[in-house]
Chain A
Amino acid sequence: MTHGSLAMAILLTALHVATASAQSSVAVPGRLELGGGILWLGGQSLGTRDADLTTGTGSTLRLFSSTSDLLAAAGVEGRVAVKLTRALEAHASISYAKPQLRTRVSNDTENSAGATASESIQQYIVGGGALWYLPSNSSSSRLRPFVAVGAAYLRQLHEGATLVSTGQSYDVGGGVKLLTASRTRKRMKTVGVRLDARVVVRTKGIAFDGRRSVAPAAAASLFVRF
């Protein structure tokens, strides 16, 4: 199964679960949610590319090989969500991280020792999505499991902001919201912690082989609902 079809399968499964459970989920108090926290984005392979010379027969002679990765990095994320129904929310989010773009050079034809070259990337992801609350065992439970999907604009700035690469980022995942305080009669209805894990599919952006890349991600944040 390719990365793309895997992501699609997860997405469809998540949608199915969410649809089936929507009727029995328990609403989280408050209509508007603001949240912010930390985000971990897993690394992604950007592929291998050889520096080739042309031979007299028209074939290639490798001068050296390069393998590139965008390394895992921690970042920050902000989110605003609006309740649409008891079980459904729409959200907008923005995240920032500073992963390293690392290229390993090997197999040099003149037997040069391998080398690693890298640079820092400033990465912004701005987008939106939907979240469905899954059924809860008890109406009094403080845990609210959910699944979520999102699509976002990806903007990656190379070192010194000299060059910009843009693309798209799609994510699907799930998690829980832990309601630490609920006050139905106050302006601030709920305070809680959100934990979630996602599969992130990125297209374009920094992608030397032109392929979509898949990476895991996890986030922890605090939120308040009004």
Chain B
Amino acid sequence: MRRAAAVLLSMCVAWPAQPAFAYLKLSTRANGRQVTLKWAQTPVRYVVSSRDAAAGVTVDEFQAAVGRAFAQWQAVPTSSIAYQFGGLTAALPGQDDGLSTLGFRNRADMDRVLASTSFLVDVVTGSLVESDIVFNSSFDWSTAPAGQLGRFDVESIALHEIGHLSGLGHSALGETELREGGGRRVLGAETVMFPIAFGSGTVAGRTLKADDIAGISDLYPDGGFSTSTGSVSGTVTKDGQPIFGAHIVAFDLAHGSMVAGFSLNAQGQFSINGLSPGPHVIRVEPLDDAEVDSFFDTSLTVDLDFKVAFLDRLVIVAGGGDRGDVAATVSRK
């Protein structure tokens, strides 16, 4: 679900039983066990709804824009996921009809939600069966190459929602500030999977970042992903006690890229996969730049009462290896 700036709605993500590698992946309970939400077979076939439209965007322009977004995800060299355009349909997105449909619907009731993704899951295997993306036509949209003032960019929002369609949850790799009157404004983000969109008129969200590439490659690894990249794992503690929901950022000194993860269980364990080999700086921060329920189920208690901290040593990532000895400690605010 991609929100307009200052939105307060949430996308709940089930808590994985074990730390997820490198990203917040969606998961579900199937047949009594927790499984990662993903497609069992690819290419993922999708269709585009021609039934509703948004002012200023034709069906052809919409289909071309989402096609470019699908192509970006598919072009990730270390991921095997593929998509296939299945044509136009008169069906609306959000209907459980076995078709993964993308299209506009007027959802004026969701006044701060730009788009949302829904899933149909096989309850036995946990595999995705269908995933629809609704673009809220109560907003103004554009497919202009350089964006259009006052209109949200279809391709940028499609890129985010297709991440969800593929099984990715939200990433917290961004900074926001509170707005007067409520909500948040994005100051910067280094992932297309940040839960809050940039404002209208921008196309800055059209490019996948290292964090997104690590996430999709972790879900659908291909090529040399397992050998050409490495991982960092460890624990986060405060006052000697493990904490849940800490956001850990691994900064690659050689390339300047960032990939992030969370401490995801009661032991404070985290794991970040898909890192380029080389020295990394580790930064730990509280999840305070978006609503917590954008990332985790509301039944979970996320610790926000600690200061940003850096690990006092560089972590060396080796291709195909895991540095599982990272013990990060944080202190109260």
Contact = CB atoms under 8 A, between A and B. Distances in A.
A117 interface: yes
Contacts of B282: 117
Interface stretch (B82-90, B107-115, B116-124, B252-260): B252-260
A66 B323 CA distance: 21
A56 B202 contact: yes
B311 interface: yes
Contact of B283 (A58, A64, A118): A64
Contact of B188 (A53, A103, A206): A53
Nearest to B207: A54
A53 B196 CA distance: 14
Contacts of B204: 54-58
Contacts of A51: 249, 251, 256, 258, 281, 283
Contacts, number: 111
A60 interface: yes
Given A52-B256, A54-B190, A208-B254, A163 B314 contact: no
Interface residues of B, number: 40
B239 to A, nearest CB: 18
B313 A108 contact: no
Interface string B8-24: 00000000000000000
A38 to B, nearest CB: 27
Contacts of B312: 115-118
A54 B316 contact: no
Contacts of B188: 52-55, 60-61, 63
A103 B253 contact: yes
Contacts of B256: 49-52
Contacts of A116: 312
The A interface is mostly helix, strand or loop, or mixed, namely: strand
Nearest to B206: A58
B67 interface: no
Contacts of B165: none
Nearest to B192: A54
Interface string B289-333: 000000000000000000111111110111001010000000000
Interface in A15-65: 49-58, 60-61, 63-64
Contacts of A208: 253-254
A2 interface: no
B253 A53 contact: no
A119 B310 contact: no
A53 B173 contact: yes
6 contacts: A53-B175, A54-B209, A110-B308, A117-B312, A163-B317, A206-B279
Given A56-B199, A105-B310, A111-B308, 20 more contacts: A49-B256, A51-B251, A53-B174, A53-B187, A54-B209, A56-B198, A56-B204, A63-B190, A68-B253, A101-B314, A110-B175, A110-B285, A110-B308, A112-B310, A118-B312, A119-B314, A158-B279, A162-B316, A162-B317, A163-B277
